[in-house]
Amino acid sequence: MKALVILSGGQDSTTCLFWALKKYGVGNVCALGYDYNQRHKAELNCARSICDEQNVPFSIMSLPIFHKLSNNSLTNLNLSVDTEKPENAPPNTLVEGRNILFLTYAAIYAKARDIKILVAGMSESDFSGYPDCRDIFVKACNISLNLGMDFPFVVETPLMWLTKAKVWELAYKLDVLDIIRDKTLTCYNGVYGGQGCNGCPACLLRNKGYEEFLALQKSRS
């Protein structure tokens, strides 16, 4: 069985890459990244480097239209990234429709290569106000892709019910903790290495999860 991983180069999708490699084996996994003029585009360099190291075929698809469709701080560099989620509204890092398009283009790419498994890093447990990270969305999108393309896709989201601490723990169990910690880029401001900028929501969530993971490991020792 072959699998296509939607890979950004961040913590979650890279953990999914190694999860897929363990489940389906090297030689049966490829990855697809998206360049949508995101402010943290350097994440794709991380994805490319990791795939090269793991002998995983990696392609990048250009989707430069997002900045024309909605106003968000990931594609509008003149807009500051929200440091906190506004009350009764999603954060301004929400790129409307992003995962709908990501899954759709991934499905088109996969079908042409007779790949039925799509792996994505959405998570509902650490929900940040992104409606397209919910399990119900993924399931609905999976059905729509199968019907619209007459192909038996299975969208797998191994992180859906994991907190960030549990995502770190999964990386540890997959024996890739150092890779995820040191070679991925999660920061919305594109700061690579260490704790990133340690100010944007992505860094705060990632770093808080890492501290909780370390505390959990310490309690077990």
Q: What's the pLDDT score for residue 126? A: 63
CATH of the domain at 146: 3.40.50.620
Does residue 220 belong to any structural domain of this protein? no
Neighbours of 22 (CB within 10 A): 14
Q: How many structural domains are present in the chain?
A: 1
Give the range of the structural domain holding residue 36, as residue numbers without chain letter.
3-164
Give tens-digit pLDDT for 69-102: 888 888 888 888 877 766 677 788 888 889 999 9
| Spatial distance between the Cα atoms of 89 and 131, rounded to a whole number of angstroms | 11
Q: Give the pLDDT confidence of 27-70 residue by residue, as tens digits.
A: 999 999 999 999 999 999 999 999 999 999 999 999 988 778 88
Whether pLDDT at 149 is above 70: yes
Question: Is 201 a member of any domain?
Answer: no
* Residue 184 belongs to a domain: no
194 has pLDDT over 90: no
